Amino acid sequence: MDDDHHYMSEALKRARQAADEGEVPVGAIVVCDGEIIADGFNRRETWQDPTAHAELIAVRRAAEELGSWRLCDCTVYVTLEPCPMCAGMLVNARVDRLVFGASDPKAGAVRSLFALSEDPRLNHRLEVRQGVKADECGEILTNFFRAIRKARRSDDDEHDERPLRRGGRVDEGA
Ligand SMILES: [Zn+2]
């Protein structure tokens, strides 16, 4: 197992924490000089914050830890391909390297829909590695959404008039 696989396992642990809290399971960590300096997992529902994506939380914490907004010596590991907001944020933070797990064909802005991290028109480019532990990173999302759909169906069966539980409102896609 290479270092990237090892660190992606750490990001996956954070994704599982998100699932435990009813959040779309995406996890992230920031590594600097071989050390995990910050982590985060998706908290959008809990915080009702549209910017509370895993990698954004992790990078914000890393900047706080380093006392600098420039993360030039850092590698960010995230279980799902970053969205346009987060891909832009990684460029702005001057992150050196990005490693992600599962691709996101619906919102991915690093390789799938856009290539924001490697656009020569921007003033900073990241080295990107994709597909590390992709199966595991994707599976945790699939299982999460499957469980939600199942819960919704059983709600329908009971003609339940109560508002949907928090998990039932989660948008698909992180
Ligand atoms: Zn994002």
Read off the pLDDT of residues 50-83 as tens digits, 9 standing for 90 and up.
999 999 999 999 999 999 999 999 999 999 999 9
113 C-alpha vs ligand 1 centroid, how far in Å? 13
Residue 113 has a CB neighbour count (10 Å cut-off) of 16
Q: Taking the model in full, what pTM does it have?
A: 0.89
Q: Mark the residues whose beta carbon lies below 5 A from ion ligand 1.
A: 53, 83, 85-86
121 C-alpha vs ligand 1 centroid, how far in Å? 21
Measure CA of the first residue to CA of the last residue in the chain; give whole Å.
28
The secondary element (H helix, E strand) that includes residue 146 is helix 134-157
User: Cα(121)–Cα(127) distance, rounded to whole angstroms?
Assistant: 15
Closest CA to 58 of 15, 23, 21, 24: 15
Read off the pLDDT of residues 30-57 as tens digits, 9 standing for 90 and up.
999 999 999 999 999 999 999 999 999 9
Catalytic machinery residues: 55
